[in-house]
Structures are given as structure tokens and as C-alpha cells.
Structure 1
Amino acid sequence: MGQGWQVVNVDRRETLGWWGKLGECLFDGSARSLNRILRVPPPLPSCDNLIFPFKPSALCNEATGRRGALYFPKTAPQSSLLVNLPVEMIWEIYSHMKDFSDIVCLTLTCQPMWNIGRRKIYDWVASFVAFSWAGDRIVCLGDYLLENQISAHEHLLTPEEAVGFNGFDQHDREYNFYNYPFCDVSHLVGTFSAWQLVHGFMLPRRIASLTDWTSYLHSFHCLVDLHYVTPTTQPAVLRNLSRHQYIRESALIAWKQGSGVAHAKNAGIGEIVLSRICFSTNGSVNMVWEGDIHRDVWAGDRLDIVAPDWLERLEGDADAWTDVSDEVLKEVEGIWRSEYEPDGATAN
């Protein structure tokens, strides 16, 4: 069947799930998630600046961007017994709600609930935006990794960690480093946008209890800063903190535009990372490329992705860092040519 691979955070003991054969996941877009998860999170606005407090009769043009005068409605009398409950009991209700759509719908029922529940919405947004593997040890493990060859991955684990990755799970099944029950966090990876909050998570079918979908959208547009989007679209810098090396995304863009390699446009920072962090004691990768990609040089290193102005701030520390953009892109070109132009490709 071929060796399967999973991207693992050694420090957090988390995984992005099984990605299948390397010869497939390297080229099918799976690696794009690494471009998101390795970015240093941007500062998150305060709750009041992202999930606005309800201000009766206040002008809300800035929140909506619409022309003409637009005001929040005046405070209306509340007849529901729910809003008369102690705040602690309402928070208890929220604690049992696992679906984000339900949280938003309850919060939008009335003004008092918005004042309480918007912080629950903010907590969810904060956990989504702030989720990052930046600076952690990352490796893509092959499931043919032989645990009895422990010396093969001494550079990945300390002796104490090697012991900790061996044991039994809650079902008394024995595990070790290559089949450790890592926590699957793949559902947390993606580009957050407040628009997705409205049009993706909150589908009309999920709010059938609301009488007017248009009114719902209007209310949410007034109360949430829909312009907050992360990550930035500027060309970034991929850093290897363990080796003090970096790759400029601007160099990658230039290569894609001028290389003439088939499907080069599909190569991104995520694909570069994946091509350099694979590790297994078995060389089965289901690729034409003949290089030792399964023993690659960055497996287990600490990586992150930062804004390009980091290069401007290097100044006196420039000598401590090495730009390996050209070297790495040469290898990427070899991998891509071997995949899509095998007759004219050579391995490294």
C-alpha cells in the first residue's frame, strides 16, 4: 500500500492527521496548511474592538461601512426569564454548547444576551486565530519508521522524550514514537476571516428559528469587525530557528514566475516545509525523486513564518543567519521536474 505520513508537533504532541503517501500529499495542496499553522500569530484586537459591545441608539456606520445614518436600536423591554438568570447560570449554559452556530444564535437573541455571550464568541475567535505551531519542533513521520532503530531519530528526541513516547493508551494498546496517540488538531487549521464566521459557519439552515436571514446578517455586520482577516498576504520569510537559516517567499515567487517548470505555481512555503521535514527509517515515498527526502535536514527543527520586515530588522545579526533560498529552490525544482517532467529530471 505504501508508507503513510503525518505531520507532527513533537513539543505539543499534536498531529495534522494522516496525509497518505508522500508522493501524493506533497503535490495535492495538503501542505498549504503548514503555511498557516507556522505563522507567528498577529496581534488580536481587544474584544470591544472585534466583537463590539451593544450601544443602544449609537451610530454604527463605522461597523457596517454603509452610507447614510445607521443606528443601533434602542433598548427594548425584555420579557424572557432567561435574561433574569444570574450571569453565572448563563455562563453554565454556554459551557454546555459545543456548536459555534448555537453559541452565536443564542447570543443574538436579545441585547442582554449579546452583552454576555459576545465574550464567548471572542474566546472562540481568539483560540482559532492564536492557534499556531510557530517555533515548535515539527516533523513529518512515516509509518514505516522502525522503533527498534532508536538511534535513527536521536536528533528528534531527548532520551527522556524517547521513554515518554512509549506506553499504553486508554484501551491498553501499546504505542511508541511512530504510532503515538497524538492529538489531531487538523480542524483548527485554516485562514480565519470574519466573513467566514458569517457566511461559512453560520449557514441559513442553522438559524431557521430567526425570522429574517437578512436581518440576521445586518445585525452581525453591525456587531462584528468583518475586516479583520489573518494571515497577511505579503511575501513572508520562512525561518529555521534551530539552524539560523531562512527562505524568502519573494525568491519562491520569482522562481515560480521564471522557472518554466510544470505546475510550479502549486509550490508554496508549505510544500517547501514538507519536503524538508520528512523522517522515516524506510525510503518508501512513492515519488520519482531519488533524493533522501525521508531523512531530510529539517526534521525536528523549530520553524516559523514571519513578515518580510524581519529581514530589515536583522542589522547586526545578519551574519548569524544564512539565506538558503537559492539552495532550497534548486532542490524544489528537481523534485517538481521529477514529478511532472521525469524524462529530463535528475536527483540531487
Structure 2
Amino acid sequence: MGQYWAFVNIDKRQTSGFLGKLGEFFSSATSHSLMYLLAVPAVPLALESESFHPSDPPEVAGAWAGDRVVCFGDYARSWPDGIDGDSLQTVTTSDEDSEDESESPQLLFMASCREYTYVDRGYKRESYPNNRIWALRNISKKLYVRSDGIPIIDENKNLTYYVRSGLQGLPGFGQVLLTNILWSDDNSTSMPFSDVQGSWAGDRLDIRLMDDVVEELQEEGWKDISRQEAIKLYNILLQESEVEGDLPDEPTESL
């Protein structure tokens, strides 16, 4: 059958619900939902969902910024390093439905989470401008990736740095996140990439305008890992036949 995956916010106890097999949504807009949950808007959002039916709850873009996030596979039977599974199980063991010992603690925890149906990004383009540089930050490890450090696919299936796309490019932060926050005890992914115990799983993450955080990054000695993430994505996309040619060198000056 294959393994299904779900975004989970450990702190807010929220989840996307199962999204399908990784190979089916890796390069799709599905990864954008997590990206925008972590992305703090440049200006306040003008929300589209100020009134909604209680059975169809949205989540607001940026609401997960700074929280601990994991993409759990449904074969997960362990917790990422740093996550105290015992404390989380207290949420589920009091539930009458948690008596089924065939269910893993991870699945029981996800069952206790509120599921959102979509992410409301509002309708103001200036909230997430494409002409600005963004930083995906691993707050726990003081690592960051620049949006202009990930080349995107052009019309010839080559990767290029010479298109400024903000958060809209493919590949982009959605794919960077997926290659770092997966967690399972079975490496089935329906694609060649099979690192299912990501080094960022359970870490605190956010996405911010680079201009808003550059001073903090410099003063606190954060590490820019944009190039290593670009290499990783290139190799994945090459195996998937989604790109051709070589990985270009990153421009020495900002575009």
C-alpha cells in the first residue's frame, strides 16, 4: 500500500491529516501549505476566512512559526530526538479510543490533534512579495536557507538562479522542509529519496523576510546551509527526471 504522511505541530497539537504518499505530493502545491504555515507575512494578512463553518476550520498563514514541526509517516513507531513522547502520550491515553494497542503512540497523538482543512494566506500580494528574499530558519539548530539560494526549474527543465520568485519557486522551501522533517521507522516513500528520519524533525522552524532577521543571524552566528540544500534537491530531482543538466553555481552577488 505504501506509507502516508501528515504534517504535525507538536506544540499546538494540529495536523494536516494524511496527505498521501511522499512521491505523490513532493513536488506539488501540498508542500506549500506547510511553508505558509511557517511564513510570517511581510504585512498583516487580509484574511479570506474571517467567517467559516466550525466543521471546516482553516489555519492562518504564519500560525505555526516558531513551533516544533514533524512530517510523520503512518509507520512511525518512535519519536524524533528531543521529543518527550511520554509527556505527549498523556494526551491520548485518557481517550477511550486509545485502548487499541495496535496503534502506535505517534498515530494516537495525531488522532488527538485538531485537523485543519486549508491554510488562509489572505489576498494581499504584499503579504508574501516575490521580489524579496526569505529565510527558512531552523531556530533549534541556528541554521537557515535563503530563498535566493535555491535555484528553480525553468522552461527547459534546467535549474536557474536568475529568476526571483520569493516563496513561489519549485523547488523551494516546501521541498527543503520535506527533505528534513520526515519521521518514520519505515523508509518507504514512493520515490528514490528515503531519509525518513530527518535531522530537523521536531525542531522549531519559521520563515521570515531576510531583511527582518539578517542582523540576528549575523550577531548570533547562524549558519547558511543554502548550498547544501540546493545540492540535495538537485540530486533528488535528477533521480526523479524532473531536471536536466548540471547544478549551476550560485551567483556571487545577490540578484
Q: Same fold (TM over 0.5)?
A: yes
Please state if 1:329 is matched with 2:230: yes
Residues 187-266 of structure 1 aligned to structure 2 (within 5 Å):
187=118, 189-193=119-123, 230-233=127-130, 234-252=132-150, 254=151, 256=153, 260=158, 266=170
- In the TM superposition, residue 271 of structure 1 has moved relative to its aligned partner by 1.6
Partner SS state of residue 6, structure 1: strand
Contact 2:37–2:61 under 8 Å retained in 1: no
- Structure whose CA Rg is larger: 1
Structure 1 residues without counterparts, runs of 5 or longer? 52-96, 101-123, 194-226
Contact 1:2–1:21 under 8 Å retained in 2: yes
1:174-194 CA-partner distances (Å, limit 9, x unpaired): 46222421210133x13211x
Percent identity (aligned): 28
Aligned residue in 2 for 1:145: 76
Which letter maps to 1:11? D
Cα distance in 1 for partners of 2:16, 2:188 equals 21
Please state if 1:279 is matched with 2:183: yes
TM-score normalised over the length of structure 2: 0.75
Query: Are the structure 2 counterparts of residues 344 and 282 from structure 1 closer, same or farther at C-alpha, using a change threshold of 3 Å?
Result: farther
Aligned residue in 2 for 1:36: 36
Structure 2 residues without counterparts, runs of 5 or longer? 161-168, 247-255
Contact 1:166–1:177 under 8 Å retained in 2: no
Contact 2:98–2:108 under 8 Å retained in 1: no
Contact 1:241–1:303 under 8 Å retained in 2: yes
Cα distance in 1 for partners of 2:7, 2:14 equals 9
- In the TM superposition, residue 312 of structure 1 has moved relative to its aligned partner by 3.7
Aligned residue in 1 for 2:209: 307
Aligned residue in 1 for 2:219: 317
Contact 2:38–2:65 under 8 Å retained in 1: yes
- In the TM superposition, residue 274 of structure 1 has moved relative to its aligned partner by 1.4
TM-score normalised over the length of structure 1: 0.56
Query: Are the structure 2 counterparts of residues 228 and 3 from structure 1 closer, same or farther at C-alpha, using a change threshold of 3 Å?
Result: closer
From the two aligned structures, give the one with the greater helix fraction.
Answer: 1
Query: Are the structure 2 counterparts of residues 143 and 156 from structure 1 closer, same or farther at C-alpha, using a change threshold of 3 Å?
Result: farther
Query: Which of the residues 166, 174, 186 maps onto 2:117?
Result: 186
Please state if 1:340 is matched with 2:238: no
Aligned residue in 1 for 2:93: 167
- In the TM superposition, residue 171 of structure 1 has moved relative to its aligned partner by 4.7
Which letter maps to 2:40? V
Cα distance in 2 for partners of 1:302, 1:157 equals 11
Cα distance in 1 for partners of 2:9, 2:91 equals 13
1:151-193 CA-partner distances (Å, limit 9, x unpaired): xx25142254243254153556546222421210133x13211
- In the TM superposition, residue 339 of structure 1 has moved relative to its aligned partner by 1.0
Aligned residue in 1 for 2:106: 177
Partner SS state of residue 17, structure 1: coil
Cα distance in 2 for partners of 1:22, 1:326 equals 23
